[in-house]
Amino acid sequence: MTKLLKVISASGLSITAALAVSQPLLATQLDNTVRENQAFVTELGANTTAVSYWTSAPNGWHVVTTVDTVAGKDTDAEQHAVVRFAATLAEGQSQLISVPAPLGQESPALRIRRLDDRIEMERVAESSL
């Protein structure tokens, strides 16, 4: 079962990496409007990165975000915890993805909003919501 999970995680990361190669938009850039099928990379912490993209469909706009958190980075004990979020957004809807932070610190979050004919993605502090 562990091998299967590793294969699934690797497949998801490969797809995400392929999207990211096609000129990713970084969350630190001024314009947070994301084109369809364009990867959007958000640093949610020192060891946590989110890669998001969206595509339109008749039932709404499908947004997929893969979050990778690394423990023991750059060591022989490096481990990745990868989770995938998917949502279908109608006009005016939004999605919030946040990760835990140490006690006393604000949790970083990614807010994804569908506004009119565009999708906006931005890193926000959870307390500012």
Q: Which of 92, 29, 84 is nearest to 52 (CA)?
A: 84
pLDDT of residue 94: 95
Instruction: Return the pLDDT at 125.
Output: 80
Residue 128: predicted pLDDT: 54
What pLDDT was estimated at residue 28?
Answer: 47
β-bridge partners, 111:
96, 122
What type of residue is 59? N
d(CA 52, CA 66): 6
Give how far Cα 95 sits from Cα of 6, 52, 53, 74, 126, Å. Answer: 27, 12, 13, 32, 13
User: Which tokens hold the place of 129?
Assistant: 């919501």
Query: pLDDT 10s digit of each residue in the chain, 129 long?
Result: 545 445 445 545 554 444 444 445 545 444 678 899 999 999 998 899 999 999 999 999 999 999 999 998 889 999 999 999 999 999 999 999 999 888 888 889 999 999 988 999 999 886 555
Give 42's strand partners.
Answer: 50
pTM for this entry? 0.73
Quick check: 79 and 67 in contact, CB under 8 A? no
